[in-house]
Copies of this chain bind each other. A is one copy, B any other.
């Protein structure tokens, strides 16, 4: 496939959303954010086709049955999943696709698309993660505890990702994310898949492709 599939995970509160937003702004001409499908009800302000594709349970189960999802999960009674068609169509067009999903979904993707790139965002310390969650005034103490329990479980999976980024300062973490993207596109196998776009000189192309 011509495009690059980037999968980003990390615990709630780690600053993933800011990183992803900055990245999508800088690379908007070449990277598409994959919108998940869900059966949970929209929260105030959430827009169908922007935040999620909101579908009913029957529709979602039909998609599972027809194998239309790249990954899916049922969390607390609600389904969440990623549409195969959306991802593959963009990758084939040469667009890169970015997914923000949990480790369970990330490993489902890696199994199906071996050259997807899995990135896990870590906090600089456990206390800092707690602090960041507590700063979100909107959340109750029990909600914070729930998120911390989940963070603890998710971090245990980071070893199986391709890259780890510590989000100490946003600027620094962003530089690493951007570097991973730029470097991965220059990996030889991807470069050769895309050779005619990278190099216009037929003689040089013939030397590079040479089988001697």
A175–B126 Cα gap in the complex (Å)?
33
Contacting pair A175 B182 (CB below 8 A)? yes
Q: How many residues of A contact B (CB 8 A)?
A: 44
Expressed in whole angstroms, the minimum distance between the Cβ of A186 and any Cβ of chain B is 5
Cβ-closest chain B residue relative to A201: B125
Contacting pair B166 A176 (CB below 8 A)? no
Using CB atoms and an 8 Å cutoff, list the residues of chain A in contact with chain B: 120, 122-127, 152, 155-156, 158-166, 175-176, 178-184, 186-188, 191-192, 198-201, 203-204, 207-210, 212
Contacting pair B204 A186 (CB below 8 A)? no
Expressed in whole angstroms, the minimum distance between the Cβ of A107 and any Cβ of chain B is 14
Task: Note all chain B residues with C-beta closer than 8 A to A186.
Answer: 163-165, 176, 179-180
Contacting pair B127 A198 (CB below 8 A)? no
Give the residue of B182, B184, B200, B207 whose beta carbon is less than 8 angstroms from that of A156: B207
Known contacts being A122-B204, A176-B182, A183-B183, is A158 close to B188, with CB within 8 Å? yes
